[in-house]
Each structure stands twice: as C-alpha cells, then as structure tokens.
Amino acid sequence: MAAILLDVDGVLHVSGEPIPGAAAAIRRLRENGHRLRFVTNTTTRSRSQLAGELRAQGIELEYDEVQTAAEAAARVLSGKRVLAMTMHALIADLDALELVGEGADAVLIGGADETPETNLVFSYMNLARAWAELEAGAELYCLHRNRWWQTKEGPMLDSGAFVAGLEYAAQVEATVIGKPSSAYFAAACEALDADTEMTWMVGDDVEGDIAGAQGTGLRTVLVRTGKFRPDVVERSRTRPDGIVSSISQLPEWLEEHL
Ligand SMILES: [Mg+2]
C-alpha cells in the first residue's frame, strides 16, 4: 500500500466543478488501503472551506488530511510581523500570525482568483507598500509563484508575475512556501509517516506538482485534466512515472504498477 499525495485544483475539480469520477476514485484508493493527503496550493479558500467543498462533491475526507500553503505559511512565519497580500478567505488559516499594514518582518504574496478581489489585493498601492517593506528589510515569501492557472473559462494570469515583479524591484529572492518547495512535500510525507521514495504525488502541473515532487524523491503520476497541456509535457525535461487521463483512472493504474 502506498502513501499518495493528491493535488486538488485541476485533479479533483476545476473552478469548483468536479472532475467526473473523482469521488469514486478516492473511495477506491481508500478501499485499496492507500493513505491519502490532499496537498494544495490553493490561495482562495481556507482549509476548512476546501474540506467542505470536497465533501460536497462526494469526496470523503478528514479535515486533517488537507494540507494548504496558507496553513504552512502560518507555521513558517510564526512569530513574525507579516504584511499579507492574500485573499480574505485565507485569513482564517493565517490566524496565528500578527498581520500588519507596515513595519513588517515578512511580506507574504498569495495567489490570484477569479473574482474582482484580485484587483484589490494586487493593486498598485498594495504592491508599492510591499515594495517599501522589502526595501526596509522585510523578507519576501509567496504561497506559490504560478504563472497561470486553469479556470473553466480558460487559462488566467496568476500571481507569479507579481512575485517576480517585486523580486526585480526590490532585488530580493522570494521563498516559496507551497508546491514546488521540497519542505512542503516533505511535510506532507511526514504527516503520513511515509518515506519520500514510497510516496506518490498526483497532479496536473508538470512543474509545480511533478518536478517539485521528483526533486524531493517522490514518485509521480500526471493527470491529463486541469492545467495539463500535452505540448508542455513534450517540451519538459520532467518525466512523470505515469500519465493517466484523469483521477478516475488512477486506482486501476496503481493496481497495475505498484
Ligand atoms: Mg493543480
């Protein structure tokens, strides 16, 4: 039996619309005795909101099985004064931090979402404030630095552009807290009490999920849903151990390949 880390967005749903067969696949993985952890970079939903949405989709899971980048940020940045440029929904997960408007030790950049809130969070005024904090010595962190993500309307610009912009302007380098950072994958393996070499990562993003997990020593399966693009995979040097058409095919693939 394996330990399996499952990406959420693009693997189990896209823009909140379930990927067909996802709930049944999760049930079968559990019946087959695999240990699961839901490992997401979501920057628009708190851990409990996400757990609720997945349950509403028919996926059985415990709150503790969900690992979010925001919750990891609360651990990594514990004790620091943080200027957070994140969606309001994440505040619940960042509760333990001292969130400040100025005089920060750290600037934390979250992701974009499909609502006008993105305009507010990444306004010129907020970006200029973040830059001023970095100039004054604050460290730059981001939940992820994705270039784009897949919505039901098509691809949309993500917040990686703002992270890169602040790095350029303040001449600093951001620390990534979520995927593809090794610390994030390692924390997930540790939560399952699993060796990295015996753990599988399942995702739709060849960079964030597959390359990141391989860099930490995990085995990987890429799904052809969500962010998957055949040309990106063909051009990439990253080779997943397996490719399946969707999460619905994963239980059978693992039965053959484990
Ligand atoms: Mg994904």
Whole-prediction pTM value? Answer: 0.92
Residue 16 has what pLDDT?
Answer: 87
Cβ within 8 Å of residue 17, ≥6 positions away = 152
Distance 246 CA to ligand 1 centre (A): 12
* Positions of CATH 3.40.50.1000 in the chain: 3-41+180-257, 72-176
Q: What does the alpha-carbon distance between residue 13 and residue 9 come to, in Å, rounded to a whole number?
A: 5
Distance 237 CA to ligand 1 centre (A): 19
- The CATH architecture assigned to 72-176 reads 3-Layer(aba) Sandwich (3.40)
Scanning 41-151, the segments in alpha helix (DSSP H) are: 47-56, 69-76, 117-121, 124-135
Supply 68's token pair. 């979010």
Residue 3 has what pLDDT?
Answer: 97
3-41+180-257 topology per CATH: Rossmann fold (3.40.50)
Distance 31 CA to ligand 1 centre (A): 24
Residue 130 has what pLDDT?
Answer: 98
Distance 43 CA to ligand 1 centre (A): 12
- Side chain identity, residue 185: F
Distance 45 CA to ligand 1 centre (A): 14
Residue 23 has what pLDDT?
Answer: 98
Distance 48 CA to ligand 1 centre (A): 18
Residue 111 has what pLDDT?
Answer: 96
pLDDT tens for the 258 residues of the chain, in order: 899 999 999 999 998 899 999 999 999 999 999 999 999 999 989 999 999 999 999 999 999 999 999 999 999 999 999 999 999 999 989 988 999 999 999 999 999 999 999 999 999 999 999 999 999 999 999 999 999 998 999 999 999 999 999 999 999 999 999 999 999 999 999 999 999 999 999 999 999 999 999 999 999 999 999 999 999 999 999 999 999 999 999 999 999 998
Residue 15 has what pLDDT?
Answer: 87
Cα 194 to Cα 184, 189, 204: the distances in Å are 14, 5, 22
Give the SS3 label for residue 168. helix
CA 77 to chain centre: 17
